Amino acid sequence: MSNLGYFSYEGFGERAKQNAHYSQAVRIGDTIEISGQGGWDRLTDAIPSSMPAQIAQAFDNVQHTLVNAGSKGWEDVYAMRVYVVGGLTDETQTELVKATKKHFGANHRPISTGVVVEGLASGMLFEVEVKAYVGEK
């Protein structure tokens, strides 16, 4: 079995590691999996109140987490799972498509699952997890 390498970024990631005893990412061989990323500001932990702002920040947090763990970022992602509070409204779907196109580009289409949930951590309306392959392509 490959060695496990755990990663936590500065700010929120280090606080989560110390206070909640979990890491932001794990690398197993050529695969990186990240813990759910919400729309929090990585340095202040502030979470915006709007769904569009949370989606945009969560996608940025994914990029940051992946790079911190040794990936190029979204281009290495092959699987994505999103959790949405309150259902997949037209606004939420529009923002998800916009963020996905921005980060994946026109021709990169990883597998994806959307899950509607009753609630997430305090103040969160959106969370995203991804898996990335960083080996030879």
Domain boundaries, the chain: 5-133
What is this structure's pTM? 0.93
Question: What value does the CA radius of gyration of the chain take, rounded to a whole number of Å?
Answer: 14
Q: What's the pLDDT at 2?
A: 60
Separation between Cα atoms, residue 58 and residue 129, nearest integer Å: 10
Separation between Cα atoms, residue 26 and residue 74, nearest integer Å: 16
Cβ pair 130, 25 in contact under 8 A: no
Cβ pair 16, 22 in contact under 8 A: yes
How many Cα neighbours within 13 Å face the side chain of 14?
5
Average pLDDT, the chain: 94
Name which residue leads in pLDDT, 8 or 2. 8
| 5 strand-pairing partners | 27
Is CATH 3.40.50.1370 what the domain over 5-133 is classified as, yes or no?
Answer: no
